[in-house]
Chains A and B, each alone.
Chain A
Amino acid sequence: METKNSESEYSTEHNENVSHLEESDDEMTAERALQALENAWLNEKFSPELLPHQLELVECMLEQISHMEENLKKLEKGDIRLNIHTMEINRIRFIISSYLRKRLDKIEEYAIYFLSEDANRSSEEAFMTPAETHFAREYVSSVESLFTTLALQHMPRRIKDFELNAMSSKPNLNKHVFIRANKATDGILIPGNMNEQDFKEDSQHIIQYAAIAHLVKNGHVQLI
């Protein structure tokens, strides 16, 4: 309880500072964007499927970092702030790269499946960023040319073709995950016994991912 109180004190104090500091017209403060990115990182880490990309958040934080690095150049050597800001930048960089790396891991694993899923979505709704889509295509074509040069070209004609669909694998959405409810949500259907369960705010659970996948995407629950 103690820490919670102090945390809210901390953030209101900060918001006041930001209101007269904020020069950009972003409706989201850097602090909130960072928290949102951290949540996205944890969700991505623990969800079996690829979640919709958060390119805006990543770009926003990268912008903040380069902005900060510009400012740091103006500081004199030995300024106490130099060290502190650099440390914070490194912490944020860690989150960003861990987040992006995790997504690439998943894309490598299920490239064909994600490409076919995204093909059914409009470009605004695509789960992969344009760069990730490019990576996925390159990856699939590299695998294909590897298979062809290594083995397929030496095969009898009947089994010579590279069959994309046979290579495709899907993420297992029935994996069990740990979650925390951000908002009270009623009537979650528990797979298997078909009971309903209500989530209180801040309660923690272990449950099959498929049962709460939609709640992860709309932010009602956080994977932990």
Chain B
Amino acid sequence: MDPSEVEFLGEKQLVSIVPNFSFGIIHLISGSVGPFRAGLPVKVPIWLAISLKQQQKCRIIAQEWMDIEKLNDSIEAEKRSKLFTKMPSNHFMDEAQMLLMVAPDDIPDADNIRTAVKDIWDLRMSKLRSSVIGFVKNAGTYAKLDHLTAMEINSIRSLLPDALDIMLHMEHGGKPTVLQSLNTTM
């Protein structure tokens, strides 16, 4: 899956905005949003928040976890734990990326938050890489992936399942399989 599609899924998450206009409830197919009162916070999906922000119709309020102290705590917890710790959102990385990109002026301490998010990502990716290597060396065919976020799972999608498929194929004595017969048909 393309990372932009993971982001597309992440854009459904809600974020609070402070609109600078007033309007009643808007009945979207995916649920209703509003009412909008100028100056009062309201929750909307991120895709809508980004669009309103770009039209300068609102201010975005940082997600609760976009707090440098909370993020530093997460970094420490991630370092201490052998397993993956639970992230505040399944779209942690992409949410941070999108909101910091479109509204750096609305989010207090944006630069430090960006760095902290990147640190967490780096920590988890290196953990992920070493656990994938361990998993493949042990010739596993099944693993639990709790607390991995959507973007992290997507980052190993192009490699891990295929590697396991091929190992399985070799284990079974390399009988001609779908893959080979496909090449001859197409």
Residues of A in contact with B (beta carbons under 8 Å apart): 1-3, 6-7, 9-11, 13-14, 17-18, 21, 30-31, 34, 45, 61, 64-65, 68, 80-81, 83-85, 87-89, 91-92, 94, 109, 167, 169-172, 174-178, 190-193, 197, 203-208, 224
Chain A binder among B19-27, B98-106, B111-119: B19-27
Contact present for A203 and B31 (CB under 8 Å):
no
Contact present for B178 and A178 (CB under 8 Å):
no
Question: Complex formed: what's the CA distance from A167 to B184 in Å?
Answer: 9
Contact present for B29 and A207 (CB under 8 Å):
no
Contact present for A3 and B160 (CB under 8 Å):
no
Sample 20 A-B pairs with CB under 8 A, ordered by A number.
Answer: A1-B88, A13-B32, A18-B32, A34-B30, A80-B21, A80-B23, A81-B26, A83-B51, A84-B28, A87-B48, A109-B186, A169-B185, A172-B178, A174-B165, A174-B168, A178-B157, A192-B168, A204-B148, A207-B142, A208-B142
Answer yes or no: B164 CB below 8 A from chain A CBs.
Answer: yes
Contact present for A92 and B29 (CB under 8 Å):
yes
Question: Complex formed: what's the CA distance from A109 to B183 in Å?
Answer: 11
Contact present for B142 and A68 (CB under 8 Å):
no
Q: 13 extra interchain contacts, Cβ-Cβ under 8 A, other than A85-B28, A192-B142, A206-B143? A: A2-B65, A3-B89, A11-B31, A21-B27, A31-B29, A31-B31, A169-B178, A169-B182, A172-B179, A176-B164, A176-B165, A204-B144, A224-B153
Q: Which of A21, A91, A197 has the most CB of B within 10 A?
A: A91
Contact present for B29 and A88 (CB under 8 Å):
yes
Tell me how far the C-beta of A172 lies from the nearest C-beta in chain B, rounded to whole angstroms. Answer: 4
Residues of B in contact with A (beta carbons under 8 Å apart): 1, 8, 13-14, 21, 23, 25-32, 43, 47-48, 51, 55, 57, 63-65, 88-89, 141-148, 150, 153, 157, 160-161, 164-165, 168, 177-179, 181-182, 185-186
Q: Which residues of B contact A9 (CB under 8 A)?
A: 43
Q: Which residues of A contact B181 (CB under 8 A)?
A: 169
Looking at chain B's contact residues, the main secondary structure is: mixed
Q: Which residues of A contact B144 (CB under 8 A)?
A: 203-205
Question: Complex formed: what's the CA distance from A61 to B143 in Å?
Answer: 36
If A2-B88, A192-B141 touch, does A206 touch B182 (CB 8 Å cutoff)?
no
Looking at chain A's contact residues, the main secondary structure is: helix
Instruction: Please tell me which one of the listed residues A87, A172, A206 contacts residue B47 in the complex, with CB atoms under 8 A apart.
Output: A87
Contact present for B141 and A207 (CB under 8 Å):
yes
Question: Complex formed: what's the CA distance from A94 to B2 in Å?
Answer: 14
Q: Which residues of A contact B26 (CB under 8 A)?
A: 81, 84-85
Q: Which residues of B contact A13 (CB under 8 A)?
A: 32
Please, which residue of chain A has its CB at the minimum distance from the CB of B149? A204
Q: Which residues of A contact B1 (CB under 8 A)?
A: 45
Contact present for A170 and B31 (CB under 8 Å):
no
Question: Complex formed: what's the CA distance from A179 to B55 in Å?
Answer: 38
Question: Complex formed: what's the CA distance from A203 to B84 in Å?
Answer: 13
Please, which residue of chain B has its CB at the minimum distance from the CB of A34? B30
Q: Which residues of B contact A190 (CB under 8 A)?
A: 141-142
Instruction: Please tell me which one of the listed residues A83, A109, A203 contacts residue B182 in the complex, with CB atoms under 8 A apart.
Output: A109
Q: Which residues of A contact B63 (CB under 8 A)?
A: 2-3
